[in-house]
């Protein structure tokens, strides 16, 4: 009799689990939702441009691209430009169908983590939604013109020692020469940005060459790290509105210029940063001058003593940076070219 009862109990349990399993499957299916890009972006074309950039990263990942020529080809893939086009919200991410392309990828699924701040919050899982952040005690340190084979690793050790993360805007030809250092930048919890291939003045070379400079550097960074950089910092801060639209990446400028390239003096670098820096600022420095790198420990300690938290550009901007805009600080953004 006990065996009969046990058998019935097991049978009922398995039946219940079967119903539960089918219910969970049905629930998973019901989570799929067809939406337009107009809904996802609140009809904001800059948000749609950000989704296209995330889509390029996903195409490269799914196609397992390594060759340089194929990385360049990702910019030829036809991606949505109209708000009426549709995509699907799935458990794994935003699913998009693609037209025929060189990569032979018919469908991509962009993880929601890459769409934070780019898609309207209500269409994202709670874990990937942006929340309001107080930037009055946040400062972003940024470093241009690297990677340098000696100074950048030294700077990374300093950042690690003081538990600080920063954003590095790197020159493409140096990334190609020292890819291990670019990987080390990311491995340390920092972020990488695009600072052109060989540092020309974009305003003097025209849109086509500017796009080539940016794409070539994106390619170098992808080859080195397996990821496309989100931001571009134009050399000398110069970029036209046409160029800004063409590159489809947020432009990051600065609100505090250390002028370390002019001083080449650690004490002056420290004084310049400390007298001008306030909450929400983006500080411009360089990791190619030994005096600049030597000044960083003191700058970090003094800013921390004033109660500032040192963060990446993404953290300062709360992941809301969009293509077609240039960002000078936490709450200071303008259309590119102005």
Q: Give the residue numbers annotated as catalytic, written as ranges.
A: 144, 286
Residue identified by tokens 């889509």 is: 55
C-alpha triplet 148, 149, 155: angle, nearest 5°: 65
Distance CA(225)–CA(214), nearest Å, equals 16
Q: Name which of 292, 102, 246, 329 is nearest 300 in CA terms.
A: 292
List all residues 6 or more positions away from 95 whose beta carbon is below 8 Å from its beta carbon: 87, 88, 89, 107, 108, 109, 110
The conformation of residue 259, written as its DSSP 8-state character, comes to: -
Structure tokens at 213: 């400079």
Structure tokens at 286: 């360089």
Residue identified by tokens 């799929």 is: 32
Q: Report the SS3 class of residue 2.
A: helix
C-alpha triplet 29, 83, 102: angle, nearest 5°: 75
CB 32 within 8 A of CB 92: no
Distance CA(112)–CA(110), nearest Å, equals 6
CB 107 within 8 A of CB 97: yes
Q: Name which of 136, 128, 223, 143 is nearest 188 in CA terms.
A: 143
């Amino acid at each position: 009799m006990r065996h009969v009862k046990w058998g019935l109990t097991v049978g009922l349990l398995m039946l219940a689990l079967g119903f539960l399993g089918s219910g969970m499957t049905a629930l998973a299916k019901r989570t799929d939702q067809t939406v337009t890009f107009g809904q996802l972006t609140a009809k904001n074309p800059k948000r749609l441009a950000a989704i296209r950039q995330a889509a390029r990263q996903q195409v490269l990942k799914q196609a397992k691209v390594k060759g340089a020529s194929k990385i360049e080809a990702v910019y030829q893939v036809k991606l949505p430009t109209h708000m009426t086009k549709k995509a699907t919200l799935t458990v794994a991410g935003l699913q998009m169908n693609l037209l025929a392309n060189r990569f032979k990828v018919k469908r991509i699924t962009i993880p929601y983590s890459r769409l934070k701040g780019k898609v309207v919050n209500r269409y994202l899982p709670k874990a990937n939604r942006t929340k309001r952040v107080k930037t009055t005690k946040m400062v972003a340190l940024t470093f241009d013109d690297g990677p340098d084979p000696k100074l950048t690793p030294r700077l990374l050790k300093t950042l690690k020692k003081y538990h600080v993360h920063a954003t590095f805007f790197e020159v493409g030809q140096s990334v190609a020469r020292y890819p291990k250092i670019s990987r080390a930048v990311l491995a340390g919890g920092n972020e990488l940005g695009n600072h052109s291939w060989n540092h020309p003045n974009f305003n003097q070379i025209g849109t086509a060459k500017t796009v080539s400079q940016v794409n070539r550097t994106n390619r170098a960074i992808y080859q080195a790290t397996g990821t496309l950089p989100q931001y571009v910092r134009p050399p000398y801060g110069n970029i036209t509105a046409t160029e800004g639209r063409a590159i489809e990446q947020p432009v990051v400028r600065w609100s505090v210029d250390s002028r370390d390239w002019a001083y080449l003096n650690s004490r002056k670098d420290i004084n310049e940063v400390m007298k001008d820096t306030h909450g929400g600022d983006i500080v411009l420095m360089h990791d190619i001058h030994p005096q600049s790198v030597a000044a960083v420990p003191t700058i970090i300690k003094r800013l921390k003593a004033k109660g500032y938290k040192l963060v990446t550009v993404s953290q300062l901007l709360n992941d809301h940076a969009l293509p077609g805009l240039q960002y000078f600080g936490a709450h200071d953004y303008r259309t590119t070219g102005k």
